[in-house]
Every structure is written in structure tokens, then in C-alpha cells.
Structure 1
Amino acid sequence: MGILHIFDMDGTLLAGSTASLEIARHTGTTPRLLEMEARFAAGELDTRGFSAALPGLWADLTPQVVAAAYAAAPWLGGIAEVCADIRARGEHSLVITMARTSSPATCWSWASTRSPPPVSRPCPSPRPWTPAAS
């Protein structure tokens, strides 16, 4: 069995930001996203509800828009070098985020010098974590 490196995109790979915030800034939907985030912080919206609401917020989102948002995003330095080292050792990597399911694949393409991720589709049966489930 190989080694798997797991990276959190929101607030880690994206320094001081999240995938959702970057997409919202690029699409002009920041006020609506901040309202959703406030509801999430207040416990009025769980992870499942937050994720379910994103397609309505970004109904016209395309891979090109996501790629443009990520191109302008504040990435942590050295990601490409770390990804190259992981690949050179034959190891695997995974990125997690609360953004739309197409976003991590796009993120990883930008962050790891545009090498396509080995898996670019969501889990067949996602089970979002909620505080009540822990």
C-alpha cells in the first residue's frame, strides 16, 4: 500500500481564504456566500445544507470560471514543489474542501503545475461531516 498525503484547501493551501470565497469574489456573489457562512457559523446550516446550497448560488459556474478564480487566488508557496516530490516518490495526494465537487480537481490542477489529479470525480456516496455526527 502506498502513502497518501491529504491537504486541506480552505485556509491552508489557499492562504487566508477558501475555495468558496475565491469563487464568490470572482463571480460577484460574496455577500450571498458570507450570509451562508454566517448561517453555518450560527448552526442554522450544517455541512450538508451548505454544500446543497452552493449549486443554487453558482448555477452558471463553469470550469473556466473556477480556473480563473483559482489563478487569482492567494496560494501557499511551494505547493508545486511538494506535489512534484510526492509524484516522484510514487505516492498519492488528495485535497479536501467544502466547495463544489469540481473545485478540488481544478485546484489540484493549478496547485500541482496543472498535472491532472488521478481522480477528478466526487465520492459516489458522500457523507458530509456534521458536528452532531462526531
Structure 2
Amino acid sequence: MAANSLTERNDERNVQAREETRSNEKYIRPAVNIIETEEGLVLTADIPGASKEALDVNVEKGILTITAPAQHTTQGTSAYREFELASYYRQFTIPESLDHEKAKAEYVNGILTLKVPKAEVAKPKRISVQVG
């Protein structure tokens, strides 16, 4: 069969094993944009199909982890599939200069938006120069 056939196995797509635990479970790495602003970092992640209640976002020892278990809600027997339903998992190292305690997350229409402000000590400060 050709590599681009309709029956191509999903093992070769964007689904991969989670290396940290050597788990046999498959995970999808959600697409992420990270933007640095003067106030801090804004992260947006594409996590369609995840439920807000099951979504887990945490920071521990400078590692930001996003996980969301797969939601198997479709009834019946699969006759044909082009995508595999797998849990979402992604990790990032983030600077300690961010104020993790003031981080805010919002999940709307499959998009997670996480805002992590810079700590006050990390924000640029203007120093006035006095004459004389």
C-alpha cells in the first residue's frame, strides 16, 4: 500500500509515546504558541475535544505540564478512522522569573490560553537620573 493511502496506520502520525514514564499509552502533542510580552508569557494550546474538568495545567520545579485525558464518547463500532483518539501531553521549561502563583488559564472552544505574569523583580524598571 502507498504511504499516503486512506488506510495508512495512525502510528506514523502526530501520536507518540510518552517518554518520561516509559508508558505504553499514546499521547498527542498539542500545537502551542508561546508569546513573550512585557507583562509575561501568553501560551495558547490547541486541545480540541478535551473537557475543561479533566484538563490539568501545573508548574512544578520550573516545568509547565499540560495534560488532558482522551474522551471516548462515541457509541458503536468503528468502520473507518483517520485519526486516533489519544490523551494530550506537553511539557515546557519556563523561567523562574515568572510569577507562577498569579498564572491564569482559560479554556474556550478547544483552545487553552495560559497567562503567566513576570515576577515584580523581573520586570524592567526605569531608573531616574538626578543632576548634581
- Per the normalisation by structure 2, the TM-score is 0.22
Which has the greater radius of gyration?
2
More strand by share: 2
More helix by share: 1
TM-score, normalization: structure 1? 0.22
More relative contact order, 1 or 2 (CA 8 Å, 6+ apart): 1
